[in-house]
Amino acid sequence: MSAPYAVIIAGGQGQRLGGVRKGDLRIGGVKLVERVRRALGDVAEPLLLATGPGTLKADAGLLAVRDLDGPVGGPLAGLAAAVDALQLNGVRSGILVSVAVDTPFLPQGFAATMAAALGDAAAVYAAWDEAFYPPNAAWQLEALGALPGQVRDGTSAPSLKALHRQLDARRHDWRDRYEQDPFANLNTLADLIALQRRARNV
Of 51 and 86, the structure prediction assigns the larger pLDDT to: 86
Q: Is the pLDDT of residue 17 over 60?
A: no
Residue 2 has pLDDT above 80, yes or no: yes
Q: Which of 56-60, 74-78, 94-98, 146-150 has the lowest mean pLDDT?
A: 56-60
* CA separation for the pair 122, 140 (Å, rounded): 5
pLDDT in tens, 89-120: 999 999 999 999 999 999 999 999 999 999 99
What are the structural domains of the chain? 5-201 (3.90.550.10)
| Segment among 88-92, 120-124, 185-189 with least mean pLDDT | 185-189
pLDDT tens digits for range 21-54 = 776 778 788 888 999 999 999 999 999 999 887 6
Rounded CA gap, 45 and 77, in Å? 21
**Residues recorded for the chain:** 202
Q: Where are the alpha helices (DSSP H) in the chain?
A: 32-40, 74-88, 110-118, 147-153, 160-166, 189-201
Structure confidence at residue 29 (pLDDT) = 84
What is the pTM for the complete model shown? 0.90
Question: Per-residue pLDDT tens for 143-185?
Answer: 999 999 999 999 999 999 999 999 999 999 999 999 899 998 8
pLDDT of residue 36: 95
Within 13 Å of residue 67, how many CA atoms lie on the same side as its CB? 20
pLDDT at 19: 55
pLDDT band at 190 (very low <50, low <70, confident <90, very high): confident
Mean pLDDT on 72-88? 94
pLDDT of residue 57: 67
Do 121 and 169 touch, CB atoms closer than 8 A?
Answer: yes
- List, in sequence order, every beta strand (DSSP E) within 53-181: 62-65, 95-100, 123-128, 131-140, 170-173
Q: Residue 81 CA to chain centroid, in angstroms?
A: 12
